[in-house]
Amino acid sequence: MTIVRKIAYNTVVSTGARLLGVALSLVSIGLIARYLGKDGFGSYSLVLAFLYIFDSLSDLGLYSLMVREISKSDVDEEKVASNILTIRIVALLVFMGIAAIIVWFFPYSVQVKNSIIIASISYIFLSVGQVLMGIFQKYLRTDRSAIADVLARLVQLILVIVIMKFNLGFYSIMFALVVSGLINLLLLIVFARKYIRFSLQFDFVYWKKLIRATIPIAASIVLTLVYFKIDSVFLSLPIINRHSLNIMSDVGIYGIAYKILEGLIFFPAMFVGLIMPLLSQSAFADKEKFKKVFQKTLDILIIFIVPLVVGLIMLSSKIVLLIGGGDFTASAPVLNILALAIGLIFLGSLFGNSIIALDKQKKGAWIYFWGMIFNVMANLIIIPKYRYIGAAWTTTATEFLVTVMMFILISKTIKYLPKFRLIKPLVAGIFMAGFLLALNKLNIFLLVLGGMAIYLIVLYLVKGIKKDEILLLTKKEI
pLDDT tens string 80-115 = 888 888 998 999 999 999 999 999 999 999 999 999
318 lies in some domain: yes
**Spatial distance between the Cα atoms of 244 and 135, rounded to a whole number of angstroms:** 46
DSSP conformation class of 295: H
Give me the pLDDT at residue 257, please: 94
417 lies in some domain: yes
Asked whether 274 and 140 are in contact (CB, 8 A), the reply is yes
439 lies in some domain: no
**Spatial distance between the Cα atoms of 300 and 379, rounded to a whole number of angstroms:** 33
**What's the residue count for the chain?**
478
Residue 328 parent element (H or E) = none
Give me the pLDDT at residue 472, please: 38
Cα distances (Å, whole numbers) of residue 25 to 11, 22, 175, 311, 374: 20, 5, 16, 20, 31
186 lies in some domain: yes
**Spatial distance between the Cα atoms of 415 and 68, rounded to a whole number of angstroms:** 23
Q: Which residues, including other chains, have CB under 8 Å from residue 318's CB and lie 6 or more apart?
A: 444, 447
**Spatial distance between the Cα atoms of 463 and 70, rounded to a whole number of angstroms:** 38
Can you list the residues of the chain whose pLDDT is less than 50?
Answer: 469-478
pLDDT tens string 425-455 = 999 999 999 999 999 999 999 999 999 999 9
**476 φ, ψ to 5°?**
-75, -25
Number of structural domains the chain divides into: 1
DSSP conformation class of 326: G
448 lies in some domain: no
Q: Which of 260, 234, 255 is nearest to 342 (CA)?
A: 260
335 lies in some domain: yes
pLDDT tens string 380-394 = 999 999 999 999 999
Asked whether 60 and 130 are in contact (CB, 8 A), the reply is no
Q: Determine the distance from the C-alpha atom of residue 354 to the mean position of all C-alpha atoms in its chain, rounded to a whole number.
A: 17
What is the domain extent for residue 306? 3-421
442 lies in some domain: no
461 lies in some domain: no
Between CA 323 and CA 332, with CA 326 as vertex, the angle to 5 degrees is: 65
**Spatial distance between the Cα atoms of 342 and 217, rounded to a whole number of angstroms:** 22
